[in-house]
Amino acid sequence: MNVKTDSRKVKENDIFVALRGVHDGHFYIEDARKRGASKIIAEEGEQEDIQIVSDSRTWLEEYLKENYYDKIKDLILIGITGTNGKTTTAYLIYQLLNQLGKKAAYIGTIGFFTPKMRKPLQNTTPDIVDLYEYFLEAKEEKVEVIVMEVSSQGIFYGRVNTLLFDQAIFTNLTEDHIEFHGSIEAYKQEKIKLFHKLRGEKIAILNKEDPSYYDFFLPQNKNIFYGKNGHYQIEGEELFIDKSTFTLLFEGVKYPVVLSLPARYNISNYLAALTSVCSLGYSIEEIIEKTKDLKAPSGRFEYIPYKESGVVIDYAHTVDAIFNILKNIKSYALGKIITVVGCGGNRDRMKRKDMGEIATEYSTYVLFTNDNPRMEEETQIMKDIVENLENDNYEILYDRKEAIEKGMGLLKENDLLVILGKGHENYQIIKDEKIPFSDKECVLNWIKEQG
């Protein structure tokens, strides 16, 4: 594509579009010019190579639609929104479709995946130019379906403008990104916008176990429910550290399922994925037959055995996600639960106290540590977490590596070390610096050093 919104990606004769968003593209016009941009679209400026428009994003959307939409319009688009579960649900759909012979690609928190390649991404929902590029790359591989996470911020910034979806999936809604949206209602309303962007059969797949599902129920859509009292239900679930077993109930018929993902919420994620794939015309029997080969995405309830104990690494970083994972683990843990967790800086301060209370209530011992402190003082973050905690079964270690290694050293037979907050991430953001760091690498290195 010859149009770019990131000046670092500009090549000779490209068009650079200066967008206002998280960063103001107008500050990077000179960089784009130095890299060879032949034309610049902006909302201000006086140089001859700048075409002034009233709204750069509107210009970009019209340009993409006119020049590229015909090339991608036959792709089946599945958009998934919700506070938790987006990544796992999307990744399960991606795996199932490819295993069933329907070429699919995934776009979301853990990257851009096709059957032949994987790329890391900066945003859960990339900007629209990047999305079009990924769609075109996928088309070259003869991909038929794109499964993508659609975040509230992605919708707010117009990253999915011009796109119409064949399916929209709602997983759940809990408080998150309140510092960005201002309120839980504003956060919810952004997510609902996805369900106004459906085409074709307009399939909306809704988690009926979440109290907010009715807000996503739009009369113009074909609404399909999963969960309690839904079209697709589960009963008789049993949870283990390395799997879940349950019975799927659909139209009066019962189907036994063994899922190689632990935790009750992963059964819900799987149910959403199964509902989506069924809606594309595959039978429940076909899907269940492929279920045995499913894997969790990187950093989602990733289990590492260690001697007679084990380690769980998970991306859980919201109040609801931390509650769910620790509650699930406590239901079948045989020994102590030692938890390493922190809170991100420059994010919603109100949830920190709740996260501290949940961690200390559902763990035997907690090591509070840095997550991504960003520009906020680590001492203030920690004060927000531990101030007025009723339980005293914790200590504070600001260095994340030190906290993880301390946790590893505390493990005895049947104990579990649960490391939360960063999952697949391979960095820490401290001040304005992105420092290489991986929870998983830290654990594996410690095990290797111990022999």
Separation CA 18–CA 41 (nearest Å): 6
308 and 269 share one domain: no
Angle, alpha carbons 170-171-172 (nearest 5°)? 105
If pLDDT is split at 50, 70 and 90, which confidence band does 214 have?
very high
Give the pLDDT mean for 291-297: 94
**Is the same domain home to 12 and 81?**
no
Cα–Cα distance measured from residue 362 to residue 451, given in angstroms and rounded to the nearest whole number: 31
Segment 400-404 mean pLDDT: 98
Is the domain of 266 the same as that of 407?
A: no
- CATH at residue 45: 3.40.1390.10
Number of helices (H), then strands (E), belonging to the chain: the values are: 14, 23
Instruction: Report the pLDDT value the prediction gives residue 123, as an integer from 0 to 100.
Output: 85
Q: Tell me the β-bridge partners of 215.
A: none
Alpha carbon distances (Å) from 50 to 17, 53, 61, 303: 10, 9, 18, 53
CB-based contact 171:195 (threshold 8 Å):
no
Quick count: other Cβ atoms within 10 Å of Cβ 220? Answer: 10
Q: How many structural domains compose the chain?
A: 3
Q: What is the pLDDT of residues 385-395, one digit of tens each?
A: 999 999 999 99
Q: Which domain holds residue 206?
A: 73-291
Residues 409, 353 share a domain:
yes
Q: Region 135-154: what's the mean pLDDT?
A: 96
Residue 62 lies in a domain: no
- What percent of the chain is predicted at pLDDT more than 90? 90
Q: How confident is the model over 234-243, as a mean pLDDT?
A: 92
Is residue 64 one of the residues assigned to a domain?
no
Say whether both 308 and 284 belong to one domain. Answer: no
Rounded average pLDDT over 185-196: 96
More confident residue, 207 or 22: 207
355-377 mean pLDDT: 97
- Which of 13, 29, 55 is a domain's end point? 55
% the chain with pLDDT above 70: 100
Is the per-residue pLDDT at 23 higher than 90?
Answer: no
User: What torsion, rounded to 10 degrees, do the Cα atoms 262, 264, 266, 270 define?
Assistant: 120
β-pairing verdict for 111-113 and 198-207: unpaired
Mean pLDDT, the chain, integer? 95
One domain, residues 9 and 77? no
Determine the pLDDT at residue 49: 86
- For residue 175, pLDDT over 80 is answered with no
Q: Say if residue 319's pLDDT is above 90.
A: yes
Q: Is the pLDDT of residue 451 over 70?
A: no
- What is the model's pLDDT at position 264? 92
The model carries a pTM of 0.91
